[in-house]
Amino acid sequence: MNVDFSRNHFDLLGLPLSYAVELPRLEQAYRALQGSVHPDRFAASPEAERRVAMQWAARANEAYRTLRHPVDRARYLLSLQGFDTGEESNTAMPPEFLMQQMQWREALDTARQAGEAAVLEALRGEIDAQRRSMLALLATALDGQRDYEAGCALVRKLRFLDKIEASIDDALADIEDAGQ
């Protein structure tokens, strides 16, 4: 058993190199791979072989985690194409998009302070609808048009939506805790 670290996540899990991923197939491939390298199977094996199995298990976990998340998967696919999504360095988002983020953040702050769970739920629904339409655009950009610049821009936008959704979930959890 050799660990070939040059194989990409898709190859490792026996999936075609595309943004569209059938989640049941990903799940199945991950379980099969994970089962074949499970430490229990190597309990009686020499030390070196056990270490290799551990490395495989770690690789399989990383591949699965990355490919399961729709934004991480896009970022990874873009990196394989030589495109950097610039999430750490690119701050020039379209003004109307940033204006929308400001409005959402304001609405979130107001609702959190007032403890209005229903308002937060509605806001989350609005953001999630946008997120879904952006994910559809991302699939078209990556698998259809192969417009990788557009793909990078969508990944950057989706990161904002993921962050604000996480903040809304935190606020909702706080309200629930306070109500108990």
State residue 38 phi and psi, 5-degree precision.
Answer: -60, 135
Complex with another protein: residue 124 or 157, whichever CB lies closer: 157
Residue type at position 85: T
> Does residue 91 belong to the site contacting another protein (CB under 8 A)?
yes
Q: Which residues are CB-neighbours of 155 under 8 A, at least 6 positions away?
A: 71, 74, 75, 78, 85, 87, 138
The full DSSP string for 80-99 is HTT----TTT-----HHHHH
> Does residue 99 belong to the site contacting another protein (CB under 8 A)?
yes
Query: For residue 114, how many other CB atoms are within 10 A of its CB?
Result: 11
Q: Please choose, out of 13-21, 44-52, 59-67, 95-103, the segment that lies near another protein by the rule CB under 8 A.
A: 95-103
Task: Answer whether 115's CB lies under 8 Å from 175's CB.
Answer: yes
Q: Binding mask 137-166 vs another protein (x if CB under 8 A, - otherwise)?
A: ------------------xxx-xx-xxx--
> Does residue 90 belong to the site contacting another protein (CB under 8 A)?
yes
Complex with another protein: residue 93 or 172, whichever CB lies closer: 93
> Does residue 78 belong to the site contacting another protein (CB under 8 A)?
no
- Interaction site with another protein (CB under 8 A): 85-93, 95, 97-99, 101-102, 105-106, 109, 155-157, 159-160, 162-164, 167
